[in-house]
Chains A and B, each alone.
Chain A
Amino acid sequence: MNATARKAKAGHGMPERPFAHRLLADMLRIRRMEEKCAELYGAQKIRGFLHLYIGEEACATGAMHALDADDNVVATYREHGHALLRGVPMDAIMAEMFGKAAGCSRGRGGSMHLFDVARRFYGGNAIVGGGLPLAVGLALADRMQGIRRVTACFFGEGAVAEGAFHEGMNLAALWRLPVLFLCENNLYAMGTALDRSESQTELCVKAASYKVPTLKVDGMDVLAVHEATRRAAQQVREEGGPFFVEFRTFRFRAHSMFDPELYRDKAEVEEWKNRGPIHSFSAQLKAAGELTEDGFLELDAEAEAEVAAAVAFAEAAPWEPVEDLLRDVTTRGATR
């Protein structure tokens, strides 16, 4: 969707109705898909680590809609929503979670390593901070080849303690590379609250110390996320250098399916849930006369139907034959 179509309608600060509904529908798609994943985890259809994004949907939704189809995206292990909104079919995501060969990484990656290079989605990286140097390199390759494109790099606030964050930030700024650093600050890295791991908790200050321009935005507000990312991406596109955006957000669920959540109060979680991105955006739309309850239920039913179809697809998909075990270690074939 182009910028004019997104433009705020005069009067109540809302975007055009189709775009607003698209944002809501996409948040619902992520939410319903992940709720189903949690259920399937309980049923042992999905195994390993599963990091749910529930509560943070406004970040991926607002940000992805501010990027061009040709931009690069690098993400973390909490990337189901990013992959989906990048255009990876839900079928392929679900099949990947099941470990099926029809998955977007042929069942070799799983939940943490969703890839779709045709859509310039460079994964699913489960090394905290590991994506930042890769994003710098992708942007460097574009610059050296005269390609005008933004590389968007998502990471959690836990990554700012890693050397990779500082090295990546410095290289991008020093070489003026078109990297859009998108930090999803959900206040916790597993069980460690930000103020228990950082002497400086203002993340924008860290980025600014590398002379990277910054924006800090309410990550529970999909429109605010969209507008901030759009502005940042535009500046990256026009001026070439990097940009850092911090989304203040919160995950409603445990870090992974193994986490008993001993480190935070239920009250804190409840407080953030009151500001839940889906519920607050739909309330906002209703108040502006842009959404009815029936309209909401319709979008929700569409999301549920897509999820049901994806699960059926994943269930029915065949397993990769074990004879293929050594495939895709090297491009030219197996070695011993």
Chain B
Amino acid sequence: MRISYREAMRQALHDALASDPRVFLMGEDVGRYGGTYAVSKGFYDEFGPERIRDTPLSELGFVGAGIGAALGGMRPIVEVMTVNFSLLALDQIVNSAALLRHMSGGQVSVPLVIRMATGAGRQLAAQHSHSLENWYAHIPGIRVLAPATIADARGMLGPALADPDPVVIFEHAQLYNMEDDLRDEPNEDWACDIERAAIRRPGSQLSLITYGGSVPKALDAAAELARDGIDVEVVDLRVLRPLDTATISESVSRTHRAVIVDEGWRSGSLAAEVIARIVENCFYDLDAPPVRVCSEEVPIPYAKHMEDAALPQPARIVAAVREVLNV
């Protein structure tokens, strides 16, 4: 079955709403408007305004209310339009959702799912193009997911809702129109694990480790390299917190080389964390220093050629791989 990432996400949300009366969706323009990225189109009519709850422009307020509703026995899915606006809700996510379990000595869980779009690539300029996944991945107490395939878009929400703790799901805005076959499903409700990284393309000479909107770019780069007889493995992190160190280490121990692709800025990036773990775990297996392909350290520019130059692109990934392999 060939569907879009948007449709996969829509189906996942539909399943959740239809199967559990505790689940409700809340956020700016999720209802009447149909969702900023049209993910919840039609839900307002089907499930009604109580469960498809349009909110005012109050990111701090409605994310906090989602946390309170989770404490009160509901299973809220809060949609924040984009990660850029989630900064207005950061206090509630970091100071409440992530901490309440610990501060209360284990008395409460916060079974909340927060979805938000992330990433650049559509000439939306600096304030609509952030990739701040690493900020969230820094915080103990929350799980951070980055579905980058149709199967993950379809399958991650269910397990995220079943997680008793807060889960933040990053949907890269460039992926919504991506289409693919929904395949390789272990079970009929599409649920997938939200623990492990996944090898998207096996290879022997180098591990190309990435997540989110950079996964298709890494796969493109790997395909191009393959035409020149260079065999790289593509690892999709999928779960940005807790990181699946085992899969990363296993891959790099086998290929002996690593390039990390991360749309976040290089300084203090997730890519830096991945490299730290590689160095901690498989230093003596490395045949070359790991290399990062990150966004350039500049606010994302509006002009197309400048935006393209700021972001990781297949050509830059190919060049980085060739540099590490010295071919």
Binding site for B on A (CB under 8 A): 72, 103-109, 113, 115-118, 122-125, 127, 130, 132-142, 144-145, 163-164, 167-168, 170-171, 174, 327-332, 335-336
Which of B33-41, B92-100, B169-177, B185-193 is the contact stretch? B92-100
List the B residue with the shortest CB-CB distance to A149.
B72
3 closest A-B pairs by beta carbon, nearest first, are A137-B68, A133-B64, A141-B72
In contact, B103 and A331 (Cβ under 8 angstroms): no
Is the Cβ of A137 less than 8 Å from the Cβ of B67? yes
Partner of B68, one of A127, A138, A163: A138
Residue of B nearest to A329 (CB): B140
The answer to whether A330 and B165 touch (CB under 8 A), given A109-B104, A117-B104, A141-B74, is yes
A132, A329, A335: the one within 8 Å of B102 (CB):
A329
Q: Are B103 and A164 in contact (CB under 8 A)?
A: no
B56 within 8 A of A: yes
Sample 18 A-B pairs with CB under 8 A, ordered by A number. Answer: A108-B103, A115-B107, A133-B64, A133-B92, A136-B68, A137-B67, A141-B69, A141-B71, A144-B69, A145-B74, A171-B56, A171-B58, A330-B101, A330-B143, A330-B165, A331-B165, A332-B163, A335-B242
Per the 8 Å Cβ criterion, residues 26-62 of B in contact with A are 50, 55-56, 58, 60-62
Q: Count how many pairs of residues, one from A and one from B, have CB atoms less than 8 Å apart in the complex.
A: 156
Q: Which residues of the partner chain B approach A123 to less than 8 Å between Cβ atoms?
A: 100, 103-104
**CB-based contact A134/B105 at 8 Å:** no
* Given known A-B contacts A136-B65, A140-B65, A335-B140, A104 and B71 have beta carbons under 8 A apart: no
Q: Are B56 and A174 in contact (CB under 8 A)?
A: yes
Contact yes or no, B103 A115, CB < 8 A: yes
Would A133 and B60 be within 8 Å (CB), given that A330-B165, A332-B165 are in contact? yes
Q: Is B211 an interface residue (CB 8 A)?
A: no
Q: Which residue of A lies closest to B277 (CB)?
A: A336
Distance of A104 Cα from B105 Cα, bound (Å): 8
Q: In the complex, which of the residues A106, A142, A171 contacts B55, with contact meaning CB atoms closer than 8 Å?
A: A171
How many interface residues does B have (CB within 8 Å)? 46
Q: Say whether A135 contacts B60, CB under 8 Å.
A: no
Residues in A neighbouring B68, C-beta threshold 8 A: 133-141
- Interchain CA distance A275-B164 in the complex, whole Å: 48
Chain A residues contacting B92 (CB-CB under 8 Å) are 130, 133-134
Establish whether residues A117 and B96, one from each chain, have CB atoms under 8 Å apart when the complex forms.
no
Partner of A328 from the list B60, B106, B163 (CB cut-off 8 Å) is: B106
Asked whether B91 lies within 8 Å of A127 as measured between CB atoms, the reply is yes
Are B101 and A329 neighbours in the complex by a CB distance under 8 Å?
Answer: yes
Cα-based distance from A167 to B310 in the complex (angstroms)? 36
